[in-house]
Amino acid sequence: MDILKSLGHPEEIYNLFKFKMGGCRTVMPKLDYGSMSGSLRTCYRYLNETSRSFAAVIQALDGELRHAVCIFYLVLRALDTVEDDMSIPLEKKVPLLHDFHSFLYQAEWCFTESREKDRQVLEDFPTISVEFRNLGQEYRDVISDICHRMGVGMAEFLEKRVGSMKEWDKYCHYVAGLVGIGLSRLFSASQLEDPEVGRDTELANSMGLFLQKTNIIRDYLEDQREGRSFWPKEAWSQFAAQVEDLALPQNLESALACLNLLVTDALRHVPDVITYLSRLRNQSVFNFCAIPQVMAMATLSACYNNSQVFQGVVKIRKGQAVTLMMEATNMGAVQAIISQYSQEILQKVSQTDPSRDKTLLILERIREKAMPQDTLRSRAHHLSPVYLSAAMLLAALSWQYLTAAVGQMFVALR
């Protein structure tokens, strides 16, 4: 059971119960669905059904920005569903990707030929597009522009694999960096954040690249099993004849070297992440941005030099994820979390790893940028052993009750 994984981390057990007893409302306030139109309620239902990681934090955003980001997500999910659907022939898929932004203004347009699991966002696209057209012009302009640019980029990579490290950056820009840029422009358009947040596309791009590279690194085996690969050839070709060879037991040492090279590359975006987060002023926007970033940092730490990347699935503990959600609500806490996971990676750097010098260099840059607090606040909140023991006992006795409630939240987070 997941509770057993947290027994050595009593602060996680404490936060699991704190989350269950109402602490979740500090980062995920309950929405008033009754005041929404029927089509908007349907959009939020689709959001919860299709989002692997952002549904909860999207619904915690303030005011009209929440609806704009919800629709932005669903539009891009529909676009991504077209890209992922291998049953759509290229001669049909390329024009769909290029023209997708124009469908936002075609009230009846829908696509019923997809076989993907998220096809409902295409089949019922009129419900999404009508809510798009209900948004303010300042939001529509951003969403349409990003949708157009992303569709063109996706089409570019349909028939080629990621080759160089520069191409890896370019691919991640198209599928995630543009999301960061679009979100930042939406934040500024809502006036919840300063115009500078929307203007600085370099920092916004880094926010997206860090998340996307983390997902690509973690999902190596899943992608291989589905016949696709997003690890750049420039990296894996240094260690194997074919990217799939990295999963062979006899190639473990080379596989770990390749893994660590890519983790190091992803870590170079962390200083930009820290700078970006330090500029945010609205609490809901900060939570929305910070929580996925610290979870990505925890995931990279778990992946670094970990053979499980090539043998199964690397996941952070549920208690760990809840703790990060509860704590990553201010800049000091985020800096402390980043510092902690940077230190964890540092302790795993091998003397013989080919990327050792680069890894140490970027970890030092992160350490300087994060400026950890003197005690890192110890993340256990200095709870007494008696209290922690009682919490652990209570957790063991009440786990069945907790699982049902917390499990529902994690359906949205995945």
- pTM exceeding the 0.75 threshold for the entire prediction: yes
Q: How confident is the model at residue 45 (pLDDT cuts 50, 70, 90)?
A: very high
CA–CA dist 192, 405 (Å, integer): 32
Angle among Cα 239, 240, 243 to the nearest 5 degrees reads: 115
Are the CB atoms for 151 and 100 separated by under 8 Å?
yes
218 is catalytic: yes
Residue 178 has a pLDDT of 97
- pLDDT tops 60 at residue 42: yes
356 is catalytic: no
Helices (H) and strands (E) in the chain, counts: 22, 0
CA–CA dist 243, 235 (Å, integer): 9
Residue 175 has a pLDDT of 93
* pLDDT average, residue stretch 347-371: 95
Determine what percent of the chain is predicted with pLDDT higher than 90: 69
pLDDT 10s digits, 393-404: 444 444 444 444
Of the listed 44, 139, 288, 341, which one is catalytic? Answer: 288
Say what the alpha-carbon torsion angle 90, 94, 97, 102 is, to the nearest 10 degrees. -130
Of the listed 228, 387, 401, 410, which one is catalytic? Answer: 228
- pLDDT tops 60 at residue 221: yes
* pLDDT average, residue stretch 247-255: 95
pLDDT 10s digits, 108-144: 999 999 999 899 999 999 999 999 999 999 999 999 9
- pLDDT tops 90 at residue 71: yes
- pLDDT tops 70 at residue 275: yes
Determine what percent of the chain is predicted with pLDDT higher than 70: 81
288 is catalytic: yes
Residue 287 has a pLDDT of 94
Of the listed 218, 220, 304, 341, which one is catalytic? Answer: 218
CA–CA dist 285, 396 (Å, integer): 35
CA–CA dist 6, 14 (Å, integer): 10
| Average pLDDT value for the chain | 85
pLDDT 10s digits, 194-218: 999 999 999 999 999 999 999 999 9
Of the listed 100, 103, 139, 171, which one is catalytic? Answer: 171
The residue type found at 40 is L
